[in-house]
Structure 1
Amino acid sequence: MSDLDARINEHFAGFVVRKDLVKAVKGNAIVPTYVLEYLLGQYCATDDEASIATGIETVKEILRKHYVHRSEAGLIQSTIKEKGRYKVIDQISVSLNEKTDSYEATFDNLGIKKVAVDSGTIKAHPKLLVTGVWCIADVQYEFSEDARISPWILETIKPIQIAKVDYESYRAARENFGTDDWIDLLMQSIGFNPEAFGRRAKLLQLMRLIPFVERNYNIIELGPKGTGKSHIYSEFSPHGQLISGGEVSIPKLFVNNSNGRIGLVGYWDVVAFDEFAGREKTANKALVDIMKNYMANKTFSRGVNPMGAEASFAFVGNTDHNVPFMLKNSDLFEALPPQFHDSAFIDRLHAYLPGWEIDVIRGEMFTKGYGFIVDYLAEILRHLRQEDFSHRPDLHFKISEKISTRDRDAIYKTMSGLLKLIFPNGGETAEDVEELLRLAMESRKRVKDQLARIDSTYPEVDFYYLGSDGTKRRVTTVEEEEYPQFYYLKPALDPKEQEQTETSTDGGDAASDAGGAGSASGTAAEPILAAKTDVKPALEEGHHVFTEDRKGISYDRLFGPYIAGASKIIVTDPYVRFFYQIRNMMEFVEMVIRRKSPEDQISVHLVTGPDDGNVAKQRELLDSIADACVGSGVAFTWAFDGTGTAHARDIVTDTGWKIVLDRGLDIFQAPIRKDGFSLGDRLQEHRVIKGFYVTYVRNGEG
């Protein structure tokens, strides 16, 4: 156990659990993490290994006996009938049957409906009327001759959430942790190993929690898939609800005018919209309008009566392109459905979390350390919604008076959320505040800068704050610093005007200022290629033979000039099966990434054959290449040859070139293994090759 884990157990005994235990007990139970940790918290909230082992078996037994698998619903129904009563763990929702003037429950996994529920239960747990809630319930079976009466009766029900927490004890215990340790504790609480993340990466992860501590907070996160954008909202808290962006309706979200029943915003602290992006998606204009009004004013109208709510909105979705492509050709909101790609809607977002900065989730990122039982932390965060920390930064810094009220409110709400998470008891230093203030301002600036691109009526704003010494400290976004040649473009301009803008901004050499992107592609490398390889500098058809045991050959020199300008590359090689062969494929992709301009989007598709001895490992390694490419501007996909008879080894581009290879990508001899370092491990030009040939053929019009 680490020193941090020891102190966590010392100061939060009974409220923490070892995070890897969730996998140990989950099995094939399809339940949120907070349900499992609720049970673990009853039996495993300790650092005693013997007690943990016993507790794990107890939780497994509870799940085995009482969690309802849909495939075993009939068996559980029979058990209830034979025993007369039985305890189940299931997702339960309730509706009012107006014909019988009674409440009826539906058990999602158990598959029973019209289960009688008394009014007292509904008054105690009104969320049951809105959506499914995970509960531990006692169900009775009493058969009646009257077919109108359901034999199923809900005797007792207990939503799975902790009853009460002592917030003052939580604040007092915070004093025993430094800022870095507290951030690591929060990271472990949401399941991540802090050692796998840098400081900024940790803060970006914690930003996902702000909707749980701030009322009426609106955040958007767009980025590559597989980065865990929706995980927090679906698994972390019983007070958050994740819904598909395509399943939103006014009655479900706000109010049903036919019966006057309030929707999700009235019962949940956070409503998250999953898969929100997608240019092909459509949304009801009336829904967009009522959402804009609610996001701005915390109210919505039902007829003539305005109603208020406190639910925060989180919008998460996948981007179609990388950052430089979006900045050059559109804007960072380009993936939104057309109805939401609206300046009035976007202006109501308090923060844009840059999802492209968050790594694809990998196994080594998960923690085996201790963290808060998520249900306990969820209750603490809910309590913090009552407090307001937004003006605490004013003790150290002054935000520019030129920033609008809406921008200022957004910055303050983000600051308040971060301070509640990291400094619930106060005590933050000026350095701590400045770090968080810059992140909060950057998150709003990202929204405002894109608004200026989308709608010319929005003025550009100078985001800065004043230090205690009166010095002006300007805030920029990361992508603004990384791609200045694209960040200040106006996509509405004519392409020729764009070029003039680039020339005037960058002194006529924007590509070079972007880190040499221009020299990495095109023909700059061809004179070197002529001097060091058998391939001629001009892109000509031809057949070239390379003798064994020579050096100086690389994928870049063989293929680079012929894939320049391609947006789609298909590699056919039936023998990309073993580790070293898949590593060759990875190096080919790396070569494509190095040569492309930052804003270009290129797809690389591999067609290969299965490794009959170890297909699972082969799949894992090939998938890891796809994961590694996320955010690079190169999309890697692969597939097994459907016929199983392919023997061709070639590379085909959509620019009209076909490169035929007798060995495929497997042109290098295996290195001689020894301790220490080898240039051959790092640079292809220093590897000894096998004998092979390559043929360049024009395959159509390029």
Structure 2
Amino acid sequence: MEDLDGSPTTGLQRKIVDHFEGKVVRKDLTQLVKGNAVVPSYVLEYLLGQYCPTDDEDLIRRGVEKVRDIVNRHYVHRDESELVKSEIRQKGTHKIIDRVSVSLNEKRDVYLATFSNLGVSGVEIAEDTVMQHPKLLTGGVWCIVDMEYLHAEDSARSPWVIDTIKPIQLAGFDLEEYTSLRSNFDLGEWLDLIIQSIGLNPESFGRRTKLLHLVRLISFCERNYNFIELGPKGTGKSHIFSEFSPHGILISGGDVTKAKLFVNNNTGDIGLVGYWDVVGFDEFAGKGKRVQRDLVDIMKNYMANQSFSRGRNSMTAEASLAFIGNTDRSVSYMLKHSNLFEALPDTYYDPAFIDRLHFYLPGWEIDKVRSEMFADGYGFIVDYLAEGLHTLRQEDYSLPAQDRFEFDSSMTKRDQDGTLKTLSGLLKILYPGDEGKNCPPDVLKELMEFAMEGRVRVKRHLRRIDETFEPVDFRFTDRKTGEDISVETLEHDQHRMLVRAYHSEEDEDGERAERGEPKAEADALTQDTEAEWEPIPDLEDGRHLVVKENQTGVSYKKLFADYLRGARRIEIVDPYIRIYYQVQNVLEFCDMLLRELPEGEEIEVSLLTGADTENQEEQEEHLENLKDSLRGSPLGFDYEVTWDSLHARSIKTDTGWKISLDRGLDIFQAKNENPFDLGRINQEVRQCKPFEVTYLREEDATFEVEQREDK
């Protein structure tokens, strides 16, 4: 069998279709029909599941065309809303796809619907419909609606009429069938099927990264699960919470209120936590964001006890909370100087709030989403998988682990609960049915370690914020084998010297404070890591260097490193950073800086270059790709493209050095076409173009680049 592009279907793809026919869809079809429609994936796959429930290529082609036609004819684009309203008026009735929300009009005692994209509000909707689909009352639901226009003389009444309305989500789910069919797949196959189902190509990820992606799903299958992910931009953090499931809602972290999230004390209406399985907070991080203190206090109580107050009464809910935000600092810097929660708004930078988080997903381990990462194989219709996870919310799959493993006595109940809830969620996703008892012991141990690591990340950095929290030994014992397993985070293992340096300095300061002495200078470990970046004091001011054509033994490190030591900000001015190899030169310069930069430090680099009048779009694309590749590293990169004339080329530092370059960074001759040429990885063996360099001291250097705020 071949797909639309003519590539053969793999054995796993064939197996998926054979066992789950009618419940899976080719994931590349979703992007194929989506076009410019800003509509969740579960809406499109709902339609694809109806019209492409097969692996027959002819039927798929016809089904794709049908879904495209439905989206083109019935999905309401906001900029075309007036055209759609006119069409409804002319025809009298028309089917539309839009997000519908409902509110109660107390004066008239009627429910009124608002159509998000159509821009129509105040449309009466039957009470029976609202009672059947209560999520219409909060946040809104995507629906297929037969809309009518009936003009009336009474101007107080809306001319818009809802004939029929059907929320877009699966009508039912057979859990027994789902768990039975799971038994036909080994763990690797099932894991790849789930990854494909969320729209990703499993071949792009290793096992650990696949598990990290699965953690984003736990909020949908585990009640009252408190999850946080902080990391660089562009890694797809919010996608799962905005497009995966009709049972989840994503809101802006700065737009939430007590009434919207929990309960409106004036009306008695329950908020989002009463209607949704998951409430996601997007753009959650940011020191400058203002958040109500009493909202956070209510949230802390809810995260701990699943309850909140309405006046004198207490109410409960089961919604999981997911907090998603971006970090600007590199991991090494945070480990050396602060903690992994430093990006949180001040109101959330609260030990009691942080202690209630079950899992911290290290967003810096997930690559920025690229086109090759998208799945083109078969995966579950996301609504089908979402219903499966929703159905499993009531179960507790942690019991096998509790029977087999014993926690270290230093772990608090919250440490244990965080680990077990994460483990339970992973088992529901990977081993649905029989409460996870069919999970092999070696896999159970692996998942237990992985689940505990997310809680270790919370507790380790919570102690940096509040030293009153007792030290915890995160370990567990296998009761059957007697094996003792200690768990630590990956970043801790990778940067042990930084962690030791941080704690050595903190411990010594604490001891000195007890004796009434001032803080000590950095300890030996810290001094070792910082000394490498101290500027060399006896560099020659006014030094002039001439390099001849074809000369070798030259590198960016030999030319610049000594003069850049100690700098926190560097500005490059070069009018000819335009085409591919010129941008690659900037990358090699940044790579040199990163290799020289002591672990745990950061540096800012800005580039000012001239516009490429012939290929400006390509120039911008290359520079954006370079900026994206450095995002999350200790080197912050930004650039400006100007149409003004630039002539002099230079590198300036905030330590006062200006390096004048008559060729800029373009000092090497073209690379050998041989892909294995040593010059591709070693600048010193490459032949140079003729160029000159002058090193000048400027005590009053000024910069365009904006320094990161020191924490």
Change (3 A) 1:616 1:244: same
**Structure 2 matches for 1:124-523, cutoff 5 A?**
124-425=132-433, 426=436, 427-467=438-478, 468-488=480-500, 497=509, 508-509=524-525, 521-522=533-534
Q: Provide the C-alpha distance between the structure 1 equivalents of 2:410 and 2:585, rounded to a whole number of angstroms.
A: 54
**Structure 2 matches for 1:49-198, cutoff 5 A?**
49-198=57-206
Q: Provide the C-alpha distance between the structure 1 equivalents of 2:356 and 2:474, rounded to a whole number of angstroms.
A: 18
CA contact (8 A) 1:103 1:116 kept: yes
Structure 1: stretches of 5+ with no match in the other structure: 527-535
Q: Provide the C-alpha distance between the structure 2 equivalents of 1:610 and 1:131, rounded to a whole number of angstroms.
A: 45
**Structure 2 matches for 1:2-41, cutoff 5 A?**
2-41=10-49
Cross-structure match for 1:658: 658
Q: Provide the C-alpha distance between the structure 1 equivalents of 2:511 and 2:489, rounded to a whole number of angstroms.
A: 23
Q: Provide the C-alpha distance between the structure 1 equivalents of 2:695 and 2:170, rounded to a whole number of angstroms.
A: 68
Cross-structure match for 2:676: 677
Q: Provide the C-alpha distance between the structure 2 equivalents of 1:278 and 1:72, rounded to a whole number of angstroms.
A: 35
The aligned amino acid for 2:574 is: D
Q: Provide the C-alpha distance between the structure 2 equivalents of 1:351 and 1:225, rounded to a whole number of angstroms.
A: 20
> 1:631 offset after TM fit, Å?
2.2
The aligned amino acid for 2:332 is: P
CA contact (8 A) 2:539 2:563 kept: no
The aligned amino acid for 2:497 is: Q
> 1:402 offset after TM fit, Å?
2.8
Q: Deviations over 1:547-567 (max 9, x none)?
A: 101101011111111111111
Q: Provide the C-alpha distance between the structure 2 equivalents of 1:661 and 1:205, rounded to a whole number of angstroms.
A: 46
Q: Provide the C-alpha distance between the structure 2 equivalents of 1:493 and 1:129, rounded to a whole number of angstroms.
A: 54
Q: Deviations over 1:503-527 (max 9, x none)?
A: x9x9945676xxxx6686447xx8x
> 1:369 offset after TM fit, Å?
1.1
SS of 2:87's equivalent?
A: helix
Change (3 A) 1:509 1:450: closer
The aligned amino acid for 2:644 is: G
Q: Deviations over 1:654-692 (max 9, x none)?
A: 111111111111100113323x62111110001000000
Change (3 A) 1:685 1:520: farther
Q: Provide the C-alpha distance between the structure 2 equivalents of 1:14 and 1:31, rounded to a whole number of angstroms.
A: 22
> 1:499 offset after TM fit, Å?
13
Q: Deviations over 1:162-198 (max 9, x none)?
A: 1112111111111111111111111111111111111
> 1:52 offset after TM fit, Å?
1.3
Q: Provide the C-alpha distance between the structure 1 equivalents of 2:132 and 2:538, rounded to a whole number of angstroms.
A: 78
Aligned length, in residue pairs: 683
Q: Is 207-216 or 188-197 further displaced after alignment?
A: 188-197
> 1:612 offset after TM fit, Å?
3.0
SS of 1:605's equivalent?
A: strand
SS of 1:255's equivalent?
A: coil
CA contact (8 A) 1:453 1:490 kept: no
Change (3 A) 1:448 1:652: same
Cross-structure match for 1:553: 554
CA contact (8 A) 1:520 1:594 kept: no
SS of 2:254's equivalent?
A: helix
Cross-structure match for 2:667: 667
Cross-structure match for 1:532: none
The aligned amino acid for 1:439 is: F
Cross-structure match for 1:530: none
> 1:492 offset after TM fit, Å?
11
CA contact (8 A) 2:543 2:694 kept: yes
The aligned amino acid for 1:562 is: Y
The aligned amino acid for 2:491 is: E
Q: Provide the C-alpha distance between the structure 2 equivalents of 1:302 and 1:610, rounded to a whole number of angstroms.
A: 60
CA contact (8 A) 1:571 1:606 kept: yes
Given the two structures, how large is their TM-score scaled by the length of structure 1? 0.94
Q: Provide the C-alpha distance between the structure 2 equivalents of 1:184 and 1:310, rounded to a whole number of angstroms.
A: 29
Cross-structure match for 1:529: none
Q: Provide the C-alpha distance between the structure 1 equivalents of 2:485 and 2:453, rounded to a whole number of angstroms.
A: 12
The aligned amino acid for 1:647 is: H
Change (3 A) 1:590 1:103: same
Q: Provide the C-alpha distance between the structure 2 equivalents of 1:659 and 1:625, rounded to a whole number of angstroms.
A: 23
Cross-structure match for 1:630: 631
Change (3 A) 1:90 1:582: same
> 1:320 offset after TM fit, Å?
2.3
SS of 2:394's equivalent?
A: coil
Q: Is 446-455 or 297-306 further displaced after alignment?
A: 446-455
> 1:306 offset after TM fit, Å?
0.6
> 1:377 offset after TM fit, Å?
0.5
Given the two structures, how large is their TM-score scaled by the length of structure 2? 0.93
SS of 1:256's equivalent?
A: coil
The aligned amino acid for 1:682 is: I
The aligned amino acid for 2:200 is: F
The aligned amino acid for 2:487 is: V
Cross-structure match for 2:704: none
> 1:541 offset after TM fit, Å?
2.6
Q: Is 400-409 or 86-95 further displaced after alignment?
A: 400-409
Change (3 A) 1:181 1:499: farther
Q: Provide the C-alpha distance between the structure 2 equivalents of 1:204 and 1:500, rounded to a whole number of angstroms.
A: 41
Q: Provide the C-alpha distance between the structure 2 equivalents of 1:178 and 1:537, rounded to a whole number of angstroms.
A: 65
The aligned amino acid for 2:577 is: V
Cross-structure match for 1:686: 685
Q: Is 311-320 or 394-403 further displaced after alignment?
A: 394-403
CA contact (8 A) 1:325 1:598 kept: yes
> 1:37 offset after TM fit, Å?
1.1
Structure 2: stretches of 5+ with no match in the other structure: 1-8, 514-519, 702-711
Change (3 A) 1:195 1:548: same
Q: Is 479-488 or 35-44 further displaced after alignment?
A: 479-488
Q: Provide the C-alpha distance between the structure 2 equivalents of 1:511 and 1:205, rounded to a whole number of angstroms.
A: 38
> 1:58 offset after TM fit, Å?
0.5
The aligned amino acid for 1:538 is: L
Q: Does 1:617 align with 2:618?
A: yes
> 1:537 offset after TM fit, Å?
7.4
Moved beyond 3 Å, runs of 4+: 488-501, 506-512, 517-523
CA contact (8 A) 2:225 2:321 kept: yes
CA contact (8 A) 1:541 1:696 kept: yes
Q: Provide the C-alpha distance between the structure 1 equivalents of 2:23 and 2:586, rounded to a whole number of angstroms.
A: 47
RMSD: 2.2
> 1:500 offset after TM fit, Å?
10
The aligned amino acid for 1:450 is: H
